[in-house]
Structure 1
Amino acid sequence: MSPAKVELEKQDRERDAAFNQVLHGKSAQATGGFRAMMGKGSSAQKAAIDEYFKHWDNKDAKDETEEDRAKRTAEYATLTRHYYNLATDLYEYGWGQSFHFCRYSIGETFYQAISRHEHYLAHQIGIKEGMRVLDVGCGVGGPAREIAKFTGCHVTGLNNNDYQIQRATHYAAKEGLSKQLAFVKGDFMQMDFPDNSFDAVYAIEATVHAPKLAGVYSEIFRVLKPGGVFGVYEWLMTDDYDNDDLEHRRIRLDIEQGDGISNMVRVSEGVEAMKIAGFDLLHHEDLADRPDPIPWYWPLAGRWKYMQSAFDAFTIARMTWWGRAAAHHFAGILEMTGLAPRGTKKTADSLARAADALVAGGEKHLFTPMYLMVGKKPEQ
């Protein structure tokens, strides 16, 4: 990298860190997502809202053009960073510290299922004790902590959002895992790590934020040691998706808006991206197609038929029409009284809209959040 580019990147990181301090203050140390939501800087929150929603406001699926998608893709890094500035606390409050979906078994609690999904990926990759492992797009470190405890490996989490890095570092220290975990700032399209740095790499529902999957997979290939394995749970539109179908396009666009995604692609394109990057594809399948008794999207569906225990009642209730209405009005009251910054309700409403689209995409077999791909970097 040229000296000019190094200096520009340094300035960008300093600017991001300063903005992060103004927006989040000391909320990275707060216990729980709800308490963290209360400590935001209002002017910075408004700036983040404006910067993120400029890609979506007053736009409809029927009017979307390739130019619109190209503009979002060109600004993928800023779009993703501001999305998680706005959504991280809501995710923690409503979902937990592992920002991903999973498969479910009868009698299994939500958090047991989340952990099993992480263990399964670690098993597929062959992560062992003492390995140096990279988590691409680590969020607040929920999967990294679980996989480090499960396997005994060392995990480096890569993230382009300062706030999430602070949260992840805080949780690692709280659980006594600081020696097994490190969290660093960086763009997964141009990582700072040297070639052949890691024994294994994984990504859980994170590389969907990349402007081109072949680009991020190629960077992962570069930093992975020869013979190392990369495993990913990828968000993809299935090959049943038809962009000329307005309903299909609206589902995709609502998922993208509510989840900070510039441009989702089909399964066939995801598989091809792995091959373009140079991986020998060991395994790939849509885990959402497994004949599970309970669908992956049940926590978003708001349907009582999916209830297995009393502990599921809150999860289901908050996604019913009346539960969402209550959350909508509650967020509005928090804003009006100044307890939560302006934009909290708008962000929550966008997440709810995405939830509907995710359920519709799953039911119509148009979308999967868990297309598993496992690739090996050749020895030579």
Structure 2
Amino acid sequence: MTTGTISAQHSEDIAFARALHGEKIKTGLLANLKSKNADVHNVATDTYLKMWKNPEVETKEDEDKRLNSYTSLVNSYYNLATDFYEYGWGSSFHFCRFHIGEEFFRAIARHEHYLAANTEIKSNMRVLDVGCGVGGPAREIAHFTGAHVTGLNNNAYQVQRATHYAAKELLQDQTEFVKGNFMEMPFEDNTFDAVYAIEATCHAPVFEGVYGEIFRVLKPGGSFGCYEWCMTEHFDENNPQHREIAHNIEIGNGIPKMRKTSECLQALKNVGFDVVMEQDLANMGDSVKWYYPLEGDLRKCQTMRDVLTTLAMTKVGRFTTTNFVRVLEKIGLAPKGTVETQKFLETAADALVAGAQQNLFTPMFFFVAKKPE
């Protein structure tokens, strides 16, 4: 299904990932942190942090540099953040809506099922997951629909883990995970019956670039379903408080530039899609908010099992994790820069909550777009 040979950049990325994370799959935050090559981790940390300045002194030139270096930005981010994501959230790196009394991982799966059903993914289809992370949604959708799912991801470490987890669930013949840039997809035109993306295409420097590639590899008549990260139409780029929230979302999540929902829809139309469904699922009047686990309020937990997920986000949980990691750094069991990673992830959580509470941000602007016959 893939075309061409592995580029020099991809070979370099794979070599860097192996040097940083090692060859073998480890499980658990401590085991993963202990296995890191400290010198290589320092390179990844410096590469990422040097791309950011305080929003009060940032210039358009600084922003343009990030947009032009988006592959390095996103790769550095996920080389640093993946282990913390799995530790705190599981293997599906996305948010979801909650019903009253609904357990966290059940809600996560339902969110994936909702996308699959509305994208009309069915058994025996060939489906592309754009920006697949470590493959949690790909595995769930493969189980749920019976489709064959190809996951595309530019981070070699995540591709390795996704392949490993799929084999553990005996999905090695129903899934495939490919390292590749979603702005230059390694697939022929008209390859896939359906395409989906879950909170991943926000990493693109421009929506038209990734949406155009999705349009190209999707078969005529096929559907593209997506949960997109966007600023809402209430966001004002010229409002310093709004811009600070957006900037902290960007630095905390490896995003070159946050964009509004209207820009998302216009980009779809610009590349040729017909938008057949659009809704902001974060603004549906739910009594249980999508961001409640990030608030760290144990009183809002839906079930006893959810306490563990939410506990890490409480003040005590954050303090404990940060100082635990600080001790690991000091005694050499975690590489230098791990505490910095923990800090920018906390910055991300705070900005996401603030953005949601002020109706400035949504992680689930949902749309289905069709490629004309």
Same fold (TM over 0.5): yes
Pairing 1:317-336 to 2, within 5 Å after superposition? 317-336=311-330
- Alignment correspondent of 1:150: 144
Aligned residue among 3, 21, 39 for 2:35:
39
- Alignment correspondent of 1:17: 14
C-alpha separation between the residues in 2 aligned to 1:315 and 1:106? 17
SS at structure 1 position matched to 2:190: coil
SS at structure 2 position matched to 1:63: coil
C-alpha separation between the residues in 1 aligned to 2:63 and 2:91? 30
SS at structure 2 position matched to 1:62: coil
C-alpha separation between the residues in 2 aligned to 1:253 and 1:358? 11
C-alpha separation between the residues in 2 aligned to 1:140 and 1:101? 15
Say whether the 8 Å CA contact 2:92–2:134 is kept in structure 1. yes
SS at structure 2 position matched to 1:30: coil
Q: State which drifts further: 213-222 or 298-307.
A: 298-307
Say whether the 8 Å CA contact 2:38–2:336 is kept in structure 1. yes
Pairing 1:258-297 to 2, within 5 Å after superposition? 258-297=252-291
Identical aligned pairs, as a percentage? 55
Q: State which drifts further: 6-15 or 152-161.
A: 6-15
Pairing 1:1-380 to 2, within 5 Å after superposition? 10-27=7-24, 29-56=25-52, 59-379=53-373
C-alpha separation between the residues in 1 aligned to 2:363 and 2:196? 15
C-alpha separation between the residues in 1 aligned to 2:134 and 2:272? 30
C-alpha separation between the residues in 2 aligned to 1:8 and 1:120? 36
Say whether the 8 Å CA contact 2:231–2:260 is kept in structure 1. yes
1:228-268 Cα distance to aligned partner (Å, 9 max, x none):
00001000000101111111111111111010000111111
Report the CA distance between 1:339 and its aligned residue.
Answer: 1.0
1:153-187 Cα distance to aligned partner (Å, 9 max, x none):
00000010111000000001111000000001110
Say whether the 8 Å CA contact 1:139–1:164 is kept in structure 2. yes
The runs of at least 4 consecutive aligned structure 1 residues that moved more than 6 Å come to 6-9
C-alpha separation between the residues in 2 aligned to 1:7 and 1:132? 20
Report the CA distance between 1:8 and its aligned residue.
Answer: 10
- Alignment correspondent of 1:3: none
C-alpha separation between the residues in 2 aligned to 1:120 and 1:252? 28
Say whether the 8 Å CA contact 1:26–1:39 is kept in structure 2. no
C-alpha separation between the residues in 2 aligned to 1:192 and 1:310? 44
SS at structure 2 position matched to 1:61: coil
C-alpha separation between the residues in 2 aligned to 1:321 and 1:119? 33
C-alpha separation between the residues in 2 aligned to 1:155 and 1:32? 26
C-alpha separation between the residues in 2 aligned to 1:128 and 1:34? 39
For these two proteins, the number of residue pairs brought into alignment is 371
SS at structure 2 position matched to 1:243: coil
C-alpha separation between the residues in 1 aligned to 2:231 and 2:361? 4
Task: Look up the equivalent residue of 1:93 and give its one-letter code.
Answer: Y
Report the CA distance between 1:7 and its aligned residue.
Answer: 10
1:100-133 Cα distance to aligned partner (Å, 9 max, x none):
0000011111000000000000001000000000
Report the CA distance between 1:215 and its aligned residue.
Answer: 1.1
1:5-43 Cα distance to aligned partner (Å, 9 max, x none):
x9996221221121111101034x112344222211111
C-alpha separation between the residues in 2 aligned to 1:117 and 1:240? 25
C-alpha separation between the residues in 1 aligned to 2:185 and 2:254? 21
Unpaired runs of at least 5, structure 2: none
Task: Look up the equivalent residue of 1:359 and give its one-letter code.
Answer: V
Task: Look up the equivalent residue of 2:41 and give its one-letter code.
Answer: Q
SS at structure 1 position matched to 2:255: coil
Unpaired runs of at least 5, structure 1: 1-5
Cα RMSD, aligned residues only: 1.4
Report the CA distance between 1:317 and its aligned residue.
Answer: 2.8
SS at structure 1 position matched to 2:356: helix
Report the CA distance between 1:305 and its aligned residue.
Answer: 3.4
Task: Look up the equivalent residue of 1:173 and give its one-letter code.
Answer: A
